[in-house]
Structure 1
Amino acid sequence: MNDDIGQPALRPVRGVAHCAVAGFVLAGAAWAARAVWQIRLAAAGLPSSGPPDQGEGRHRPLTGLEDAYHVVSTLGDVATLLCAVTFLMWLSCVRDNARVLSGQAPRYAWPWVYAGWIVPVMNLWVPRGIVADVHHKSAPGKPLPRAVNVWWGLWLAGMLSGLGLMYSGSTDDVIRRAYTAVQFPLLVDAAVVGAAAAGAVVVRALTAVQQERADAARQHGEDVTARR
């Protein structure tokens, strides 16, 4: 794809925006469910046999509550993946539309729409920069919605916490933390749930901006399909 050449027409955005919002709602609900199960684990207390991971490769049989948490955690991972896919579909769509509406190339080349989330250091600001660029090109002169910074701040809190979105440890380790210091996992869960809620607001806000520009252009007979 060549970022110097505008799209021949605006891409429909409402449908994919609805999917992205639904993805955020689903992910937020999944992480809220994790928090509920962590509270239940903390209330039940550490079994006399110790945590599930006994060390040196030894694991005891899981209790019913621990086994249920594994299921909840897996469903949460699936929900988070679906959220990521629908959000990236929406982001790609509004990025292309911003290029058509403004007649200007995006600030970041298209690979950063995906690579910006996984390249170390760059993932601290590139995704927010892409969203901000979409807004500035779609609504020149208008301030960036406050929800963008809220979403990004909570996302970073969940990502950099060591126990949240980018956590690579085992579910049994999370269970151990729930038994011994549940406050920290719950703070991480709250950050992720908050990020999901703010993300849904961001999607709705930027979608509305682009839809308003497109509707106004049609009313004034402006051609928004052939800008370069």
Structure 2
Amino acid sequence: MTDESTRTPALRPTRGAALCAVAALALAGAAWTARAVWQIRLAATGMPDSGPPDQGGGSHRPLTSLEDGYHLVTTVGDGATVLCALTFLSWLWAVRDNAHALSGEPPRHSWVWVYLGWVLPVANLWIPRGIVADVHRRSAPGERLPRSVNWWWGLWLFGTLTGTGLMYTVSTDKVVERAYDNLAPLLAADAAVVGAAVAGVLMVRALTAAQRGRGGHDGGTGRVGPPAGPVGPQAARR
């Protein structure tokens, strides 16, 4: 009979969610790299004599082939970003639930902050990182927070609050105009977002590995700690 005091919690499988999150982060990083390349091409070509695409007063001139291509690259990048957000949140829910099971304590932030923490002004400057840090603390008590967490969050904030301003509404035509007039801030923001994607991959792998180390191969074996010994006549008599 199993002693209730030594029973170990069942954990949710996280390997699949982690692989999807890593793939989506890599895709988003590639999409933002493509944006940067296109912005460099725009800057190298120079603004047409007819001026920027958005000419004010609701008037827009026809786009050049290069500008039209940038609109397409941006649309693909936005789709990759949405996919990345969905897969990342799916992974975060899984490791958050596992952290709760491993520690026996409720999460520091309620479930609603898993969503609101990304979009609520001011709160979105610290709550998402706090959720991730809380997951690690409960999954690997006493271990140092992986550096990738701070790199991921710092680069994400820099990339989203500067350059194209992901947290603000900026039309693609306005970004094209910035590429013609002031390329450096755009490239800095793009580099930060790509760096955040790379750090995010490392972070997902680190937190998933921490839970797998305590819960078996896939974090869903229902056992924390070393595998059980071999089953045999002697074990049956114990």
- How big is each residue's C-alpha offset from its partner over 1:179-200, in whole Å with a ceiling of 9 and x where there is no partner? 0111111111001000111011
> TM-score normalized by structure 2?
0.87
Rounded to whole Å, the distance in 1 between the matches of 2:42 and 2:164 is 17
Rounded to whole Å, the distance in 1 between the matches of 2:71 and 2:21 is 26
Q: Which runs of 5+ in 1 are unaligned?
A: 1-7, 222-228
> TM-score normalized by structure 1?
0.91
Kept after mapping to 2: 8 A contact 1:164/1:192: no
CA-atom RMSD in angstroms: 1.2
Matched with 1:129 is 130
Kept after mapping to 2: 8 A contact 1:148/1:198: yes
Kept after mapping to 2: 8 A contact 1:164/1:189: no
Matched with 1:42 is 43
Q: Which runs of 5+ in 2 are unaligned?
A: 1-8, 217-222, 229-238
Distance apart, 1:120 and its partner CA: 1.0
Distance apart, 1:162 and its partner CA: 5.5
Is residue 44 of structure 2 the alignment partner of residue 55 of structure 1?
Answer: no
Matched with 1:140 is 141
Is residue 224 of structure 2 the alignment partner of residue 217 of structure 1?
Answer: yes
- How big is each residue's C-alpha offset from its partner over 1:44-88, in whole Å with a ceiling of 9 and x where there is no partner? 001011010111111100000000000000000000000000000
Describe the SS at the equivalent of 2:175: helix
Matched with 2:72 is 71
Letter in 1 for 2:121: P
Rounded to whole Å, the distance in 2 between the matches of 1:201 and 1:75 is 24
Letter in 2 for 1:42: A
Kept after mapping to 1: 8 A contact 2:163/2:188: no
Rounded to whole Å, the distance in 2 between the matches of 1:19 and 1:49 is 45
Matched with 2:15 is 14
Rounded to whole Å, the distance in 2 between the matches of 1:217 and 1:181 is 54
Q: What's the % identity of the aligned pairs?
A: 66
Which segments of structure 1 move beyond 4 Å, counting only runs of 4 or more?
A: none
Distance apart, 1:137 and its partner CA: 0.2
Aligned residues: 214
Describe the SS at the equivalent of 1:61: coil
Letter in 2 for 1:134: V
Kept after mapping to 1: 8 A contact 2:163/2:185: no
Rounded to whole Å, the distance in 2 between the matches of 1:119 and 1:180 is 32
Kept after mapping to 2: 8 A contact 1:31/1:189: yes
Letter in 2 for 1:211: R
Letter in 2 for 1:72: V
- Give the structure with higher Rg (CA): 2
Letter in 2 for 1:74: T
